[in-house]
Structure 1
Amino acid sequence: MEFRTLKANEIDCRIQSLNEKNGNVGAVVLLYKDARIDMRLLDEVVGAMNWKREHAIIGDRLYCTVSIYNQQTGEWVGKSDVGTESNTEKEKGQASDSFKRACFNWGIGRELYSAPFTYINLQNGEWKPGKDGKPKSYAKFTVKEIDYDENRNINKLTIVDSKGVVRFTMGGSAASMQATKPKETHVAGYEEFCKLAKDNNVPPAEITKYIATEFKKPRLAMLDAFEMVAALDWLKKFIEQQGTK
């Protein structure tokens, strides 16, 4: 059983952070899926009567288990994950987030982990200074085009604004990429992490899953200095555990 990759109109864009330099503001944009998309794909692939979701509080955290009925064995197979609070409705946010994470474990939308670093320079009128002096933006972006390679990794991506103007492209010309994506700089510990992971053959999927689960970020390069310290600690423990098996 395999869930298909997400279509452009099934993916949402969210501004994760804003960066201001010399009066110019840029937005780091993440791709994500809505819980309704998970429900639709479960209905589409396994049938509405062949899956179920259950929630349970363990400690002070809300977990969700998404179970799919195996018709060959007559058993329910479940995969679980924990949710995080939203900024508005605590319980509803945890329930939705834990459900989406459990669906990620089934493979729904997992290709979003391969999203490129997406940086969009904001235009006048798309942002304003907040009360704390930091820039605020309510700009809306949507995915116009997306495509994947044979390994289900994103190899083409076009993001447009509310007026339909292209603001980010991947898989296009070098000139357009240069206009939308600045050169990345890495925090201390990044090179060490990459070398350790490579030398010890740590599966990239394990790294991506850890980063997405722990920091809600799609790529190692997006971690800040404090997060990188935690990530290095996790990697060393992971390598140690692998060596004892």
Structure 2
Amino acid sequence: MTDKIINRRTILTTTTLAAGGLLLGGGTAHAVTGRAGLDTRPTTSDEAWAKLREGNRRWAADAAIHPHQDAARRAEVAQKQNPYAVVVSCIDSRVPPEIVFDAGIGDVFSVRSAAQTLDPLVKGAVEYGPVELDTPLIVVLGHQRCGAVTAAAEALHEGTKLPGDLQRIVEALRPAYKRAHGDVDKMIRINTADVVATLKADKLLAPRIARKRLKIVGAYYSLDTGQVTRVA
């Protein structure tokens, strides 16, 4: 009698999993959940940027759906990843890329540094997605009221030095400070455009841009509205 109960439970469990689309592999899960559009990975830079913008619009409108943030997605990407974008953003705790773009596990490479400044290690991390996995888009994301930019602007204005390696951030932002004439918000936007220009000239990324297999865009995130706008 016990064996019959166990067998019946096994059959019911298997049937439920199959009907619910939880057996990973094909498009069954996508069809059952009704999220085929959400689960389609962009293959071009324009498609990738459109997907990020769509997610950001949901976030800004307080209508986030939090895609790809469940156990099924975790299992799906456990053995292999294929993100559609690299987001180079600030370490600021208020600007987590997956939340800002209403994305999930396996959707974006997130590379973060103070004021999205670059050094060889950060550049190497940015290069990884396009070079190794053919990721079609890089977004450099600056943001409103950036603390790193503000601190650098104050140090440069007062002629003081920040302790330790914080001074490296100040020096990286010096060109933007000079051109912004001390205006912090302009400095943020100028620095974002400068990082974009630097990455476009990168010896590994430039050929991919020329072959139209990669696009690099600069963007600005408003802490007040939650909206991302393009600046470069």
Q: Do they fold alike, i.e. is TM over 0.5? A: no
TM-score using structure 2 length: 0.23
Bigger-Rg structure (1/2): 2
Q: If each structure's strand is expressed as a fraction of its own residues, which one has the higher value?
A: 1
Q: Which has the higher contact order (CA 8 A, sep 6+)?
A: 2
TM-score using structure 1 length: 0.22
